[in-house]
């Protein structure tokens, strides 16, 4: 058996073992409850063990398993602390590292995609990868003109690995779902599957990154590395130093956290307005805080990885800002009507307008004040309110619909808020909405 099929079998076996391990722990938990241990104590222990196994398996794999783990990691802030604490480090590791592809395989891939004389394109090339992601790894190099560059090389068979992993994960989605209260895992996995073709296409990624790099070229706060060269499954961009957001989350100063949070919020809303594209992979590994010797006001946010974007030629949809403004003004009937028009409430569903407003207002609290402190406790409270079957918000939420055109926007916004809560950042979220979100500032008064 060759290495590739053997690795595929191993990957499948690891993922397939997840539901068996979860089921075994559930049986063990039942036995412990019968033996007299409190139900909530047993449940917490089972959840922690399940989470440990899940992220251990995801952390050992690339492909769809790692992609799913990265997407899931931004929701870590929603988990109860007793569950989140033990594997927060494992989640961070998912964002920054994966087992490397051997140097010989990298050289072979570069020769195939850039030509047998590929070394002539570089003044130097480091065989040891500087970073690894779900479908490829990054090597540091110096381009023939002296520029420091990042060379992203796609793993052989990355597409097949993505599909295989996500198929396996979809089979255990109902078991993984309870780990993240309020998050429906199945649509997330389905969306990742639907985006595979786009993410594997480095020409599309080069185009999206170039649009951002040109638009933000003179921006004092946002920096996007320029594209230097691309070929099939190889992408060369300018190298960018900086402190990964995962490090800021783990050990950054409050000044760094607040600055990173403000810039992240700005990029979320400004980029679609300025480029017509929404960066759709907002996990901390894709951002760098560029810290210099000057005051925090001069620090920049570096943005990486444009493999997944949502194309929004008109920017973020006008109804989002309009409904948000009406909600803050207390216009319950207007909010419900807007949700109906956009397909969030199906024609056959009858809802009380005031109940809908009560459901929405806690979620949009960051838009109601000049500055908002994003914390894990706030995120956990929202997740518990929406995810607890005993909560009225849970029953109402189950009657709402998420239209396909809003799916990616919803996930990116929720993911970005998750990162802001991991940062524990105070940010002028409302200022960014006023500046960039269509419809939000169209009328004079915002309550």
The residue ranges of every structural domain in the chain are 3-97+159-182, 103-156+197-238, 242-447
- When pLDDT is cut at 50, 70 and 90, the band that residue 136 belongs to is confident
Segment 206-232 shows an average pLDDT of 97
169 versus 242: the higher-pLDDT residue is 242
Residues 6+ apart with CB under 8 A from 353: 332, 333, 335, 336
- What is the Cα–Cα distance from 50 to 88, expressed in whole angstroms? 14
Lowest mean pLDDT among 223-237, 366-380, 385-399: 385-399
pLDDT of 412 strictly over 50: yes
Which pLDDT tens digit goes with each residue over 224-241?
A: 999 999 998 999 999 999
- What is the Cα–Cα distance from 94 to 109, expressed in whole angstroms? 24
For the chain, what is the mean pLDDT? 81
- When pLDDT is cut at 50, 70 and 90, the band that residue 260 belongs to is very high
Lowest mean pLDDT among 20-24, 163-167, 171-175: 20-24
Write the class of the CATH domain 103-156+197-238.
alpha beta
Percentage of the chain surpassing pLDDT 90? Answer: 51
pLDDT of 55 strictly over 70: no
pLDDT of 194 strictly over 90: no
What is the reported pLDDT for 428?
A: 94
C-alpha Rg value of the chain to the nearest Å: 23
Residues 6+ apart with CB under 8 A from 186: 170, 173, 174, 177
């Amino acid at each position: 058996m060759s290495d590739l099929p053997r690795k595929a079998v191993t990957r499948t076996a690891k993922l397939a073992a997840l539901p068996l391990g979860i089921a075994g722990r559930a049986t063990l938990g039942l036995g412990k409850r019968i033996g007299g241990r409190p139900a909530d104590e047993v449940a917490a222990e089972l959840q922690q063990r399940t989470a440990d196994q899940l992220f251990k398996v995801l952390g050992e794999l690339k492909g769809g398993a790692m992609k799913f783990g990265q997407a899931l990691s931004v929701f870590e802030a929603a988990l109860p602390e007793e569950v989140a604490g033990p594997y927060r480090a494992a989640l961070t590791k998912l964002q920054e590292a994966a087992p490397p592809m051997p140097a010989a395989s990298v050289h072979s891939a570069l020769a195939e995609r850039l030509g047998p004389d590929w070394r002539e394109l570089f003044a130097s090339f480091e065989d040891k990868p500087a970073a690894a992601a779900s479908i490829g790894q990054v090597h540091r190099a110096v381009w023939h003109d002296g520029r420091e560059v990042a060379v992203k090389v796609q793993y052989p068979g990355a597409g097949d690995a993505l599909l295989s992993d996500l198929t396996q994960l979809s089979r255990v989605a109902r078991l993984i779902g309870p780990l993240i209260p309020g998050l429906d895992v199945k649509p997330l996995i389905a969306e990742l599957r639907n985006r595979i073709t786009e993410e594997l296409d480095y020409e599309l990624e080069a185009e999206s990154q170039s649009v951002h790099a040109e638009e933000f070229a003179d921006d004092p706060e946002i920096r996007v590395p320029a594209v230097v060269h691309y070929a099939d499954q190889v992408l060369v961009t300018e190298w960018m130093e900086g402190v990964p957001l995962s490090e800021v989350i783990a050990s950054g100063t409050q000044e760094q956290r607040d600055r990173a949070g403000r810039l992240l919020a700005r990029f979320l809303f400004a980029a679609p307005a300025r480029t017509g594209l929404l960066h759709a992979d907002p996990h901390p590994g894709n951002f760098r805080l560029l810290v210099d010797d000057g005051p925090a006001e001069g620090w920049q946010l570096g943005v990486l990885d444009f493999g997944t974007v949502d194309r929004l030629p008109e920017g973020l949809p006008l109804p989002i800002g309009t409904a948000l403004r009406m909600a803050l003004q207390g216009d319950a009937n207007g909010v419900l009507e807007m949700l109906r028009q956009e397909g969030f409430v199906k024609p056959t569903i009858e809802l009380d307008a005031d109940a809908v407003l009560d459901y929405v207002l806690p979620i949009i609290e960051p838009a109601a004040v000049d500055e908002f402190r994003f914390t894990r406790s706030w995120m956990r409270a929202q997740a518990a309110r929406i995810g607890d079957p005993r909560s009225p918000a849970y029953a109402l939420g189950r009657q709402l619909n998420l239209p396909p055109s809003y799916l990616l926007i919803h996930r990116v916004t929720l993911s970005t808020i998750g990162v802001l809560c991991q940062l524990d950042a105070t940010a002028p979220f409302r200022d960014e909405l006023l500046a960039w979100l269509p419809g939000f500032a169209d009328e004079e008064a915002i309550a």
